[in-house]
Amino acid sequence: MNGKNKYSEETGLELIRSSRKTLALEIKPDGRVIVRAPLHMSQRKIDAFVEDKAGWIEKHLSRLKTAQAAQNGINKLTDDELQLLAEKALQYIPQRVEYYSKFIGVNYGRITIRNQKTKWGSCSSKGNLNFNCLLMLTPPEVIDSVVVHELCHRKEMNHSNRFYAEVLKVYPEYKKWNRWLKENGPAIMSKPGYPYDNS
pLDDT tens per residue, the chain (199 residues)? Answer: 444 457 776 677 899 999 999 999 988 877 889 999 999 999 999 999 999 999 999 888 888 777 666 655 556 778 888 899 999 999 999 999 999 999 999 999 999 998 877 799 999 999 999 999 999 999 999 999 999 999 999 999 999 999 999 999 999 999 999 999 988 887 788 766 543 333 3
- Strand-by-strand arrangement of the 129-132 sheet: 111-114, 129-132, 121-123
Residue 4, pLDDT score:
47
**39 lies in the same domain as 132:** no
Residue 69, pLDDT score:
65
**64 lies in the same domain as 104:** no
CB atoms within 10 A of CB 143: 22
Provide the number of structural domains found in the chain.
2
**173 lies in the same domain as 86:** yes
> Is residue 195 domain-resident?
no
Supply the range of the domain harboring residue 138: 79-189
Helices (H) and strands (E) in the chain, counts: 6, 6
> Is residue 139 domain-resident?
yes
Of 24, 54, 72, the last residue of a domain is 72
Of 72, 91, 117, the last residue of a domain is 72
Q: Report the C-alpha gap between 151 and 98 in whole angstroms.
A: 10
